[in-house]
A and B are shown apart, each in its own frame.
Chain A
Amino acid sequence: MKTADREFTTISGVPVEPVYAPGDFQNPAPGEFPYTRGIHRDMYRGKLWTMRQFSGFATPEETNLRYHYLLAQGQTGLSVAFDLPTLMGYDADHALSEGEVGKCGAPISSLEDMEILFRGIPLGDVSVSMTINSPASVLWAMYLAVAEQQNVPWARLSGTLQNDILKEYIAQKEYIYPPRASMRLVTDTIEFGALHTPKFNPVSISGYHIREAGSTAVQELAFTLRDGIEYVDWALERGLAIDDFAPRLSFFFNAHSDFFEEIAKYRAARKIWAHVMRERYGAQSERSLKLRFHAQTAGCSLTWQQPYNNVVRTALQAMAAVLGGAQSLHTNSLDEAYALPGEHAVTIALRTQQVLAYESGVTNVADPLGGSYFLEKLTLDSESAANDYIRRIDEMGGMIAAIEAGFPQTEIASASYRYQREIESGARTIVGVNRFQSAVFQSDAEPIELLHVDEAGGRRQTAKLAALRARRDNGNVQKTLDALRRAAEGTQNTMPLLLDAVRAYATLGEICDALRGVFGTYRETPHI
């Protein structure tokens, strides 16, 4: 196709000019409202982003070893990946857990597993992020209980709970209960956190999964921020003051392949959120206005074919996140189209961040690409397009209403289909997949020693659960579950009751079943 005939767009389909001219792109300095250029004056000169590799597999014991390894290799924060049974509120020995235990993350069925997970890790000194949603408050209670055992005051704990249920209905689909009951549980954690864990982020409002499901960059940006607005509304409805909880709302964005589009997205995110906080909610505290985010390089961009190319993809995506001012970063491993990260592969991924941080020089300057005509135009356009979506969702009655109408899900499904068609037709090149294939490296099935998770972990977890149920005070467990049920039926904050239950070694499944009994379960209407 002739250059003149081809349409040049970002990976999201936004048309791009051949060259950009100087324009009127005035932005306040980094650290100044609306923080388009960054939330701190000195950005990475003051403090590097946290290097936080998402990790978990097979058993709590093996995951704990990987955590020690990663910390020894220089990562600066932990990020817990739970397996599907845990994510869905099932114990490892539940019928639906068969074949799934430890395959996508660490199985945590009780406080005992959480104790093992953090063995030898001082929670007062190491920041911990936990990727958990529907049963987030239960796992958080377990984490808080382990901190107690370590004699670490909750006020000292640093970390993040993903706990963003809205994006589950939109994209990741790990929901248990219906939306309003789930929002109540999230609000319980925000309220509890405001009182007890001032250094802990009770939610990580996420766009990563929305993007992985196939959305455009603008959809990722808009749906994430509008989810944030929904959480703020519920917290205010609960009676919390905006500046009491907004400083601890954190965000999580994808770091996808189109370099400038991603950087523009992060800058637009900060700008939009600062204005929302100030103008929509009247927030006074600067900390309420500053959007802080974790980024993860795009899992969906990794290829099965020629997996070593993924190291390059991850490096470029990581650089976009850093140039975009991320506070925390996970870099994917080259083997993740095949399996969970092997040790060698995750080390390369961590080294990617370290090379960026210590060798590239981009950390010496805040918002070093600020002033790029292309970047500034893209930032403005992203802001405008995202605000359009936010307005539309407002008009629908908010995000829950939009979800019930299938709006974000349909937008995502259309975008992902369009993208796949571009690849099919060859309009969009994926190196090694639809162009530059290589018969020799076509299926590098063992590029580096792949991590294999077998059924042994599942059997081990099952045995552990049987032993746990035999030795604990089952009368006490029942009491705590009854009290939890009563609280859930009423309006009491469920966190204290969850803490009692986990301390009694009630299992995740037992606790979630108690809540299922009260709230019911959710079944989605699929939108293709």
Chain B
Amino acid sequence: MAKPGLDGHDRGAKVIARALRDAGMEVIYTGLRQTPEMIVNAALQEDVQVIGLSILSGAHNAIVPRVLELLRAKEMTDVMVIVGGIVPDEDAAALKRQGVAAVFQPGASLDAIVTFIKGAVPA
């Protein structure tokens, strides 16, 4: 679970990280102000199956493609990327076309997120 860019609003990221842990997943929370490089390196080191990006600042169109690009460059395309935060519908659709597995907008339930990850990732 990563907070990319300058956005410091971490309530959602932390609540979801805790919910995922409660659901039995191993979760690494990167903390704030992560660059795409830092996130992908952490994912590589920790050998994660999923990267969650929490962005409420409107900077998703600059940040998310960069993360996807780095994953491709490091041949980590088996890592699933999900995004949460303030992402308008058109942008969400565009991000999914670029390879993001799911975009969770405000009001998304913890259950829906847990279920989605469990369904998409082998245990």
Contacts and interface: CB of A to CB of B under 8 A. Distances in A.
Q: A and B bound?
A: yes
Interface of A: 84-85, 87-88, 90, 96-100, 103-104, 172-174, 212-214, 300, 303-305, 337-339, 413, 416-417, 420-421, 423-424, 430, 433-434, 443, 445, 450, 453, 455, 523-524, 526-528
Nearest to A413: B14
Contacts of B58: 100, 103-104, 339, 453
B31 A445 contact: no
A303 B8 contact: no
A515 to B, nearest CB: 17
B62 A174 contact: no
Interface string B100-116: 00000111011100000
A500 to B, nearest CB: 28
A7 B7 CA distance: 37
Given A99-B63, A303-B106, A424-B109, A528 B17 contact: yes
B30 to A, nearest CB: 8
B32 A100 contact: no
A100 B57 contact: yes
A172 B57 CA distance: 13
Contacts of A430: 107
A99 B59 contact: yes
A527 B19 CA distance: 14
A84 B5 CA distance: 9
A421 B110 CA distance: 8
B8 A174 contact: yes
Contact of A524 (B6, B11, B18, B31): B31
A254 to B, nearest CB: 13
- Most chain B beta-carbon neighbours within 10 Å: one of A88, A104, A421: A104
A416 B14 contact: yes
17 contacts: A84-B7, A87-B6, A96-B5, A96-B35, A100-B59, A173-B8, A173-B9, A173-B32, A300-B11, A338-B86, A338-B88, A416-B11, A416-B14, A417-B19, A455-B62, A524-B31, A527-B14
Q: Which 5 A-B pairs have the closest CB atoms?
A: A99-B62, A173-B8, A103-B58, A304-B106, A84-B6
B88 to A, nearest CB: 7
B8 A305 contact: no
Given A212-B11, A339-B86, 12 more contacts: A87-B6, A99-B62, A100-B57, A103-B59, A303-B106, A303-B107, A305-B107, A416-B14, A417-B18, A420-B110, A424-B110, A445-B88
Interface in B1-58: 5-11, 14-15, 17-19, 21, 29, 31-32, 35, 57-58
B77 interface: no
A526 B89 contact: no
B10 A173 contact: yes
Interface residues of B, number: 32
Contacts of B63: 99
A526 B29 contact: yes
A527 B7 CA distance: 17
A303 B105 CA distance: 10
A400 B35 CA distance: 28
A526 B31 CA distance: 6
Nearest to B59: A99
A339 B107 CA distance: 15
Contacts of A90: 6
B61 interface: yes
Contact of B57 (A104, A305, A423): A104
A337 B58 CA distance: 12
Contact of A424 (B17, B29, B31, B111): B111
Contacts of A443: 89
Contacts of A416: 11, 14-15
- Most chain A beta-carbon neighbours within 10 Å: one of B17, B57, B58, B106: B58
A300 B63 CA distance: 24
A304 B57 contact: no
Contacts of B88: 338-339, 445, 450
A520 B6 CA distance: 18
Contacts of B35: 96
A300 B21 CA distance: 24
A337 B5 contact: no
A442 B91 CA distance: 18
Contact of B6 (A100, A214, A420, A424): A100
Contacts of A87: 6
A512 B31 CA distance: 22
A86 B74 CA distance: 33
Contacts of A417: 14-15, 18-19
Nearest to A432: B107
B93 to A, nearest CB: 11
A420 B15 CA distance: 8
A96 B21 CA distance: 31
Contacts of B62: 98-100, 455
Contacts of A420: 15, 19, 110
Nearest to A423: B109
B50 to A, nearest CB: 17
